[in-house]
Structure 1
Amino acid sequence: MLLLTLHTYRADAVIRKAELNMTILLALLLAGWVLSIVIYRFAVREEKHQLEMARQESLARLGEMGAMLAHEIRNPLGGIKGFAQIIEKRPTDERNRGFAHRIVTETLRLENLVTNLLAYAGSDRLRPVKFGLEELIADTVALIRSEADEQGVAITVNSSAAVQLIGDRDRFGQVLLNLVKNALQAMPAGGTLGIAFATSGKNVSIVVSDTGEGIAPESKSRIFEPFFTTKAKGTGLGLALCRKIIEEHNGTIEVNSSAGQGTKVLITMPRHMQT
């Protein structure tokens, strides 16, 4: 008689190993599931934190803007009110002519503030046309020539060749006017205001420079912020509006300045705006 004895220890070992592997796999899956929940909750919490920080920053910025606007509007209104009251009491006094002039000046200042606000907040489509850059610069210089002469500021314009652009002429003219006015204000005791432009491939570069007092280091990082200004009667919208208009033309604007060494503003943009 032949007796066969089957040993199951190898099969048992295989089963135990499979069970162990299954247990490890389930443990890993469970750990992964728990970890994913932790990561998800952390991400949600972090997103809420970032949103709250952004909200707080927006509220703080809104508060700064509101305070600046209130200040900029209250001062001219106070002057207008005071001068009007003087004129009301003495309507025939010859000195009231000067008070009336101040009323007009402060009213124009308010009008300029509102115009800049509307331009900065507006989303009107650009109206691209073909125009000569040299002609636009000449028109801009003509607007500030009298003021420059009174301050003893010399104006130089340098170009390598005539340049034709396609873009919104009116808005780009507003950029140039803002920049040359800033340059004049930086040189109350006289100096040199330079405007230069040149082409490079499909782009044009424009540099507006002055020999004024320059920009303090602590202010350089904020000069493009809306309503940030170091001027007694500035709105803080000039450079912010310039950047908005240049970016609408797919260009860039940079300011290089050091205290006491003047300022250079570099604009680089396509000669032909994409429509």
Structure 2
Amino acid sequence: LLSNSRAQNLLAKSEYRYEGKSLSALLEESLKNQKVFYDPIRLLDGRSRRLDVELGVWRLLDEDQKPWGVLCTIDDITYRKMMEEQAVQDEKLVYAGKLAAELAHEIRNPLAGIRVGVQVVERHSSSETDRKLCETIIGEVDRINLLVENLCHLTRQRKLQKTLIDVAELYQEVSLLYSKIAENSHIELLSDAPPGILLYADKSAVKQVLINLINNSIKAMKTGGTIVMKARAQESRILLCLSDDGEGIPPEKMKAKSRNGGMGLSIVSQLLQKNDGTFRLESAPGKGTKAMMTFPR
């Protein structure tokens, strides 16, 4: 058996498996059973890292047409496959972005009319019950607007513009944005960020992360409560934390969220990764939820 160094390196990667078999085992099976792999094979290791290969097997015949050997080729096409998949994903994002923009335009226009109309009704209403109903409607309209913005943000590809962000000022901006929504939902939104904590990141992205997390908290707090945004600076990192005293998330739902999240958590993960941040969620039924973000300093 003669093989070059590249083939030896690939065959030595026994941690990568396809249907429980290593690459060397697959090659032996192909030679023994004359099995042909027409399509590329994707092998995965224990950490779900991938190795995409194409196997080629050719029988070698002498001048009398008698077999005298076999030539096997192993092509590592992992990078090529990743680029092909990225191209498909980019094409989908372009289409989804156009669709999201059209939907946002069609949804926001009637929502603006509804909001103004309800505000007019609220001003002329003499019934406390009717005024509270109007406030609830306005709060829900604002929430739909934020969901539409989330949809647009998910499909929008924008170059990051990293700057030094004053976290206390950012928290103040978010609090102002949510003041009416929180009031209508009987929620107190608090900020606990010492002055002078500076975070090097894309401000729009971090703001969107906070918006998504606050949206999730508001949804979980059916009867009101408290949301607290905290920030702390350590020697080598900056910690941001958003906690609520809502109903919490059961363990089985926490597992599902950690696997695939919802649209809001998907955006959170994407934006934090682009800003070199990490994300961790802690929750338990009846004990609220805590979202913790860590950034390098």
Interval of TM-score (by shorter of Structure 1 and Structure 2)? 0.5 to 0.7
Which residue of the partner structure matches residue 180 of structure 1?
A: 214
Q: 1:187 to 1:105 in 2, by over 3 A?
A: closer
Question: Aligned pair 1:152/2:186, yes or no?
Answer: yes
Greater relative contact order, per chain length (Cα 8 Å cut-off, separation 6+): 1
How far apart are the structure 1 equivalents of 2:222 and 2:238? 30
Which residue of the partner structure matches residue 158 of structure 2?
A: 124
How far apart are the structure 2 equivalents of 1:146 and 1:270? 33
CA-based RMSD of the aligned residues comes to: 4.4
How far apart are the structure 2 equivalents of 1:195 and 1:267? 11
Moved more, 215-224 or 34-43: 34-43
How far apart are the structure 2 equivalents of 1:140 and 1:258? 26
Question: Aligned pair 1:264/2:290, yes or no?
Answer: yes
- 2:272 aligns with one of 246, 253, 265: 246
How far apart are the structure 2 equivalents of 1:106 and 1:144? 12
- 2:230 aligns with one of 196, 213, 223: 196
Listed as ranges, the matches of 1:205-220 within 5 Å are: 205-220=239-254
How far apart are the structure 2 equivalents of 1:109 and 1:195? 19
| Residue identity matched to 1:47 | I
Q: Which runs of 4+ in 1 moved over 3 A?
A: 34-46, 48-51, 103-115
Following superposition, the deviation at residue 113 of structure 1 comes to 4.9
Question: Aligned pair 1:221/2:255, yes or no?
Answer: yes
Q: 1:41 to 1:202 in 2, by over 3 A?
A: farther
Which residue of the partner structure matches residue 96 of structure 1?
A: none
Contact 2:221/2:247 (8 A) holds in 1 = yes
Contact 2:139/2:185 (8 A) holds in 1 = no
How far apart are the structure 2 equivalents of 1:245 and 1:176? 11
| Residue identity matched to 1:215 | I
Which residue of the partner structure matches residue 94 of structure 1?
A: none
Listed as ranges, the matches of 1:154-169 within 5 Å are: 154-169=188-203
How far apart are the structure 2 equivalents of 1:49 and 1:217? 31
Contact 1:206/1:266 (8 A) holds in 2 = yes
Relative to its length, the structure with more helix (as a share) is 1
Relative to its length, the structure with more strand (as a share) is 2
Following superposition, the deviation at residue 36 of structure 1 comes to 7.0
Listed as ranges, the matches of 1:9-158 within 5 Å are: 35=28, 37-38=30-31, 47=41, 112-113=146-147, 115-158=149-192
Moved more, 174-183 or 130-139: 174-183
| Residue identity matched to 1:252 | T
Contact 2:189/2:228 (8 A) holds in 1 = yes
Following superposition, the deviation at residue 183 of structure 1 comes to 1.6
Local SS of the residue matching 1:170: helix
How far apart are the structure 2 equivalents of 1:202 and 1:253? 17
Following superposition, the deviation at residue 106 of structure 1 comes to 9.2
| Residue identity matched to 1:131 | I
Q: 1:215 to 1:107 in 2, by over 3 A?
A: closer
Following superposition, the deviation at residue 174 of structure 1 comes to 1.0
TM-score, length of structure 1 as denominator length: 0.56
Contact 1:161/1:198 (8 A) holds in 2 = no
TM-score, length of structure 2 as denominator length: 0.52
Which residue of the partner structure matches residue 27 of structure 1?
A: none
Q: Among the aligned pairs, what percent are the same residue?
A: 25
